[in-house]
Amino acid sequence: MIKNIFIMKSTGELIFYKTYEDIFDIKLTSSFLSAIFSFVKATLKTKELSEIEVGPFRFIFEIEKANSSELMFALFSDRVDNLVELRNQLREIKSQFLNKFDLNLLTENFNGDISIYQDFKHDIDEIMERSKKLVSKEIQKDLIEIFEELHTFSSFVISSALLTQTGRVIISYLSANVFSEIIRLLESRFIIGNSKIHELISLEDYGILALVGIDNFISVIQFKKKSPFETVMIISKKFSARLRKVIT
């Protein structure tokens, strides 16, 4: 769950924040984030600050070069939250903020007045609300029928799911451990720059996992471990093709 969102100058001036859960002192935290950024630049000789895990929590960062300084966008959440989804939300927040406000007023001509940025809370609310609306109830119903047919007529299938490319669940019959493995896979690929899965078949201890990209979505089927490879390919492609007709 997201706890806080910060927008600040790398020199420490807090420009904007939105609180979902009041855990700590906001000004003290902004000073901490500024110190971390300064430490990374001075000691590690890099400005590529991405994320920091602190106990059960995680800070995620997006840095925007602004003339002679930097603008820092930071999101504070539970460590177990989906990193890929949170990263995309933070990038959307950064994009909308930079489109809405003059960057020069935040850097070279910054006068300390942050009141003009407080209405940006409404923009963040819209971003979060849009991310919840994935498919309509009518489409959800049609998708469930396809899943039920898959499980009824294929003796090789253990479980299945439809996820977004960022790991959000549309429909899932996966066990918790299989789902967590998929999320870790998406996060690791995202970190190295592979933001989308097109097709991936892997043999795991719990069976054969078949992932097929459908634009912004991924169809997932967990097959029994000794399922014939040709059967896995045929079923996964037919399944994803049927889903594609419904969601695109």
The residues, any chain, with a CB within 8 Å of residue 111's CB and separated by 6 or more, are 105
242 lies in the same domain as 213: yes
Residues present in the chain in total: 248
Question: pLDDT for 4-35, tens place per residue?
Answer: 898 888 777 888 888 888 777 777 777 777 77
Name the domain count of the chain: 2
* Domain span holding position 229: 137-247
12 lies in the same domain as 128: yes
Q: Which tokens hold the place of 27?
A: 């000004």
pLDDT > 70 fraction of the chain, expressed in percent and rounded:
92
Which residue is listed with tokens 């609306």? 133
Phi, psi torsion values for 121, nearest 5 degrees: -60, -35
- CATH number of the CATH domain containing 92: 3.30.450.70
In one-letter notation, the amino acid at residue 13 is: E
Question: pLDDT for 140-155, tens place per residue?
Answer: 999 999 999 999 999 9
Of 106, 132, 158, the residue at which a domain comes to its end is: 132
Question: pLDDT for 173-195, tens place per residue?
Answer: 999 889 888 888 888 887 777 77
The pLDDT of residue 93 is: 93
The residues, any chain, with a CB within 8 Å of residue 77's CB and separated by 6 or more, are 1, 2, 3, 57, 58, 60, 86
Of 98, 132, 166, the residue at which a domain comes to its end is: 132
- CATH number of the CATH domain containing 179: 3.30.450.30
Of 132, 167, 190, the residue at which a domain comes to its end is: 132
The pLDDT of residue 48 is: 63
121 lies in the same domain as 12: yes
Sheet containing 14-19: give its strands across.
Answer: 14-19, 2-9, 69-78, 57-66, 51-54
